[in-house]
Chains A and B, each alone.
Chain A
Amino acid sequence: MQRIGVFVCHCGTNIAATVDVARVVEAAAKEPGVVHAEDYQYMCSEAGQLKIREAIKEKNLTGIVVCSCSPRMHENTFRQAAERAGINPYMVEIANIREHCSWIHKDIEEATEKAVILARAAIAKVTLNAPLQSGTSRVVKRALVIGGGIAGIQTALDIADAGYEVDIVEKTPSIGGRMSQLDKTFPTLDCSACILTPKMVEAAAHEKITIYTYSEVEKVSGFVGDFQVDIRKKARSVDMSKCTGCGVCQEKCPSKKTPNEFNRGLNTRSAIYTPFAQAIPNVPVIDRENCIKFKTGKCGVCSKVCQAGAIDYEQKDEIVTQNYGAIVVATGFDTIKLDKFDEYSYSTSPDVITSLELERIMNAAGPTKGHLERMSDHKPPKSMVFIQCVGSRCADKRGKSYCSKICCMYTAKHAMLIRDKYPGVEVTVFYIDVRTPGKNFDEFYRRAVEEYGVNYIKGQVGKVAEKGDKLLVQGVDLIDNKRILMETDMVVLATAIEPNPDVRKIATMLTASIDTNNFLTESHAKLRPVESPTAGIFLSGVCQGPKDIPETVAQAGAAAVKVVGLLAKDHLVTNPCVAKSDELLCNGCSSCEKVCPYGAISYEEREVNDHGIRETRRVANVNSALCQGCGACTVACPSGAMDLQGFSNRQILAEVDAICK
């Protein structure tokens, strides 16, 4: 018979203000098997833990229930407390009466009733708990970084500097990411390339870093400490070991009509190309969809002009399989598509552009060589209108509910740079709010207004229409409470940013959770901001939420430290809550084997003794070192042979029964 102790936490007023803890103690004390019940203000504090330890010893408790916050918060704390008092740490159950109860209810009566029910369920479960023992698993001393932008580069450099091997997988032909497309960076206005390219070079030259560009993660298996990853190296059609990066092939390539992705489609590129001059590696790729040789079989100009003989039309995709102890996601962002925002005439007028397109126009290496001009007639504009929050802070489903965070600052930057270089251009900014929390950010914005005479109007734009070679902007000024109708030469849209669309696929492969906006979810918003809830998966940069370059770099470093902390361990303690199959109930149907994401289940022919009937049966076998205790097999098993230790079918049914009682 179990001797159970119940400990109800007030969590200050977090629980006690909504739940009558005394009544929870009273009700719990009446449950069968409960020999001790008490409450305390902070169960997780040293004094609270002492109460648990003393009760275990004095009352000879065999299992305990702590009614407190989420097990994700303090399950480990209480398990350790139980272990110190001499009972198995897996004889602890948590009833979450904070997140699941007090925080979401207002009525004390209802919340107390629910807390009692949750406590009863945990008591019913702990009654069926059995002591479990942890094992250990290895740590592969190598990290994978998915995404080669500034976030990925910084994370990789920091991990590599700590002495561990790092691989960067980048989808495009070069590392550099969004930052490589930017012209100047706020709030210091230093040139983006000047600060980024040295880091790119450093990463490429680092002996501990291997860079896979034009490559994608194809398959991930395994778990924290030992992930196995298949990386698809797409066929570049250029031999990296032979290419000297002279660029003749790109000059001579007769197919030059492909929209240039790096310049956001503002001009075109050749079919064989490097995205930009400082690309790393400086080895072009052949875009097979647009290459005449691949389309018609005729051409081969690049091969003829290549002195190094590096062109290889026969090259095939290659799969590299590698094991990693930790994986960092640094997949970054893109701007949203504007097809749902027809009111701004983006799709019809070439003079309505996004801010990222303006970055390319302003850039000396961009499509206009850095001259500010309209894309329709290549004339310099006399006036420009910037529209903030296009698709950000959007109330309807066309856009995003969140603030993209970087737009206020880069718009101030654009406005300032234009007024500085072209003082004759009138610049107007329509905004909802100007948000400048950051070191030297507000000063920067005020300079745009006060020193550079940028005209900021609080109000939104309802429509941009083409009128001759001009654009007609209709908006409102909320401060003067009047409608505004103004003509301008160019309109720049501060387009909302969203996570890279590939992130869904990657998150699925990694079993890392994502939110409704496709941003990867952190394990704890405040206390574990660079860790995914999935062990061994870390987050770097905008894939986790909108942020600017300084924040991205800081987070990249933080993610690197977490990775290094993991890789420095000799081994990891495994979770003993693993699946176990009852050979007498197993049909041998393979359902569990098919759903197991960790490849932990295999089948074998085994002689069984089924109540005197000896026969050889095909039965499931769980490798407990590989099993992560996800429980997928237990629900796939039609006969109920597969069960999860610590979360057995009987325990879960006992909880349900206790709740329904």
Chain B
Amino acid sequence: MQERLVERAKELLTDGTVVRVLGWKQGDLGYNPEPAYFNSPEELADFVYDGFCGANLSKYMIQAGKMEGNTLVFLKPCDTYSFNQLIKEHRVNREKTYIIGVGCKGTLDIDKIKNAGIKGIESISQDGDMLKIQTIYGEKEFPFDDALLERCTVCKGKTHQVYDELIGAQEGEEAGPKGNRFEMVEKLEAMTPKERFAFWQNELSKCIRCNACRNACPACSCLKCVFDSNKFDSAQKANVDTFEEQMFHVIRAFHVAGRCTDCGECSRVCPQGIPLHLLNRKFIKDINEFYGPYQAGEDTDSRAPLTDYTFEDVEPSVVTERGGKH
């Protein structure tokens, strides 16, 4: 697959369709590829596509759209939801983008492997249902499915929502493993407000405000974030008490509500392992229940439930009645 992608990228660079390629390149370790631009066929030597290429490249296209010439971008099925949502918000330039939809079997969570006691990892390759892991202590095996990121265990589908061509994927491909996406949200809803507060206090107090979630999130794409602007007092307000990070994360969740495609990047990139996606999923669950099923990024022109009004819309009293258990 990786070879096919490189080959096609070279062709498109050579024939002038695009002037740069946005993909992933090998990182310092065997399991941390990073997003990268490739400006010539030669540079593509570093290109990599494997189970650790979790990074959603759609957000980089905001910047790429402003550059000279067209850009080729590789998008996994769930990344295309983010790209579509950005089209809807007029943040990316579809005309200057050539999208290759790449097949995806699920992306991996290195921490799941490490937590299983596998240390000194040098490289990881896939062999059927198993991962073959080269370590300084010799070769180890680990089941592929057990290493999947949480988001991939509840995969929302293998169908690309927007693309110019597909490689390693078929149109209308069936979803992969599918758990109950809202299982943990339901558990949180069942808690008393006190328990729920304690849960989030515990989780959010780990936050070191590195801003990785904000930087990775395709919905968090404001030219100037309210937390960076002196026009608002949000930044200072977020730092006033011992539970300082609640403001930041709660405001962030509100700002992306109805626009979040549930790509899971916030939790994937969090160095502290905070399950940030649960805040967004609570919104998604509520939106689904109050206004009917809605998936942000499924299209580029519909009116999203939170920015639309219909006569069938749920009444405020019903929201109060259904808004979680007290």
Contacts and interface: CB of A to CB of B under 8 A. Distances in A.
Do A and B originate from a single complex?
yes
A594 B308 contact: yes
B197 to A, nearest CB: 18
B89 interface: yes
A638 interface: yes
Given A587-B91, A589-B89, A594 B303 contact: yes
A654 B91 CA distance: 32
Contact of A587 (B222, B256, B309, B311): B222
A650 B233 contact: yes
A582 interface: yes
A585 B231 CA distance: 10
A588 B93 CA distance: 13
Interface string B210-238: 00000000000111111001011100010
A636 interface: yes
B307 A588 contact: no
A589 B307 CA distance: 12
B90 interface: yes
Given A584-B224, A585-B223, A640-B229, A505 B91 contact: no
A639 interface: yes
B119 interface: no
Contacts of A653: 232-233, 237
B90 A595 contact: no
A587 B232 contact: no
Nearest to B317: A516
Choose among B223, B259, B304, B309 the residue with the greatest number of A CB atoms under 10 Å from its CB.
B223
B89 A639 contact: no
B87 to A, nearest CB: 11
B233 A591 contact: no
Contact of B224 (A585, A588, A615): A585
Interface in A575-629: 582, 584-591, 594-595, 603, 610, 615, 618
Given A589-B91, A590-B90, A594-B307, A649 B222 contact: no
B229 A585 contact: yes
B209 interface: no
A582 B311 contact: no
B261 to A, nearest CB: 15
A508 B221 CA distance: 34
B255 interface: yes
Given A639-B222, A639-B223, A639-B226, A587 B89 contact: yes
A189 B114 CA distance: 91
Contacts of A505: 311
Interface string B63-88: 00010000000000000000000001
Contacts of B90: 588-590, 603, 618
Contact of A508 (B66, B259, B311): B311
B286 to A, nearest CB: 17
Contact of B89 (A504, A590, A640): A590
A321 B55 CA distance: 51
Contacts of B225: 639
Nearest to A589: B89
A636 B307 contact: yes
A231 B91 CA distance: 37
A638 B304 CA distance: 14
B50 to A, nearest CB: 34
Contacts of B237: 653
A54 to B, nearest CB: 36
Contacts of A603: 90
A649 B259 CA distance: 22
A125 to B, nearest CB: 14
A649 B309 CA distance: 24
A650 B224 contact: no
A589 B303 CA distance: 13
Interface string B161-188: 0000000000000000000000000000
A554 to B, nearest CB: 32
B241 to A, nearest CB: 11
A268 B89 CA distance: 56
Contacts of A582: 231
A265 to B, nearest CB: 27
Contacts of B232: 640, 649-650, 653
Nearest to A597: B309
Interface string B303-317: 110011101000000
B219 to A, nearest CB: 8
Contacts of B256: 638
A650 B237 CA distance: 12
Given A585-B229, A639-B222, A650-B233, A591 B307 contact: yes
A585 B225 CA distance: 9
A588 B233 CA distance: 23
Nearest to B307: A594
Interface string A640-657: 100000000110010000
Interface in A494-528: 504-505, 508
Given A587-B89, A588-B91, A589-B91, A640 B231 contact: yes
Contacts of B66: 615
A595 B307 contact: yes
Contacts of B304: 594
A615 B67 CA distance: 12
B64 to A, nearest CB: 15
Choose among A504, A585, A594, A615 the residue with the greatest number of B CB atoms under 10 Å from its CB.
A585
Contacts of B89: 587-591
Nearest to B313: A508
Contacts of B308: 594
A160 to B, nearest CB: 31
Contacts of B255: 638
Given A589-B89, A618-B90, A640 B307 contact: no
Nearest to B89: A589
Contacts of A508: 309, 311
Interface string B227-259: 001011100010000000000000000011001
Contacts of B224: 584-585, 639
A35 B259 CA distance: 48
Choose among B256, B307, B308, B309 the residue with the greatest number of A CB atoms under 10 Å from its CB.
B307
Contacts of B259: 638
A353 B192 CA distance: 51
Choose among B233, B256, B303 the residue with the greatest number of A CB atoms under 10 Å from its CB.
B233
A589 B255 CA distance: 13
B97 to A, nearest CB: 17
B102 to A, nearest CB: 27
Interface string A346-365: 00000000000000000000
Contact of B221 (A587, A640, A649): A587
Contacts of A615: 66
22 contacts: A504-B311, A508-B309, A508-B311, A584-B223, A584-B224, A585-B231, A587-B91, A587-B221, A588-B89, A588-B91, A590-B89, A591-B89, A591-B307, A594-B303, A618-B90, A638-B255, A638-B256, A639-B224, A639-B225, A640-B226, A650-B232, A653-B233
A-B pairs, 10 with minimum CB distance = A589-B89, A639-B222, A594-B307, A638-B255, A640-B226, A588-B90, A595-B307, A585-B224, A618-B90, A587-B222
Given A585-B224, A588-B91, A650-B232, 7 more contacts: A587-B222, A587-B223, A590-B88, A636-B307, A639-B222, A640-B232, A653-B232
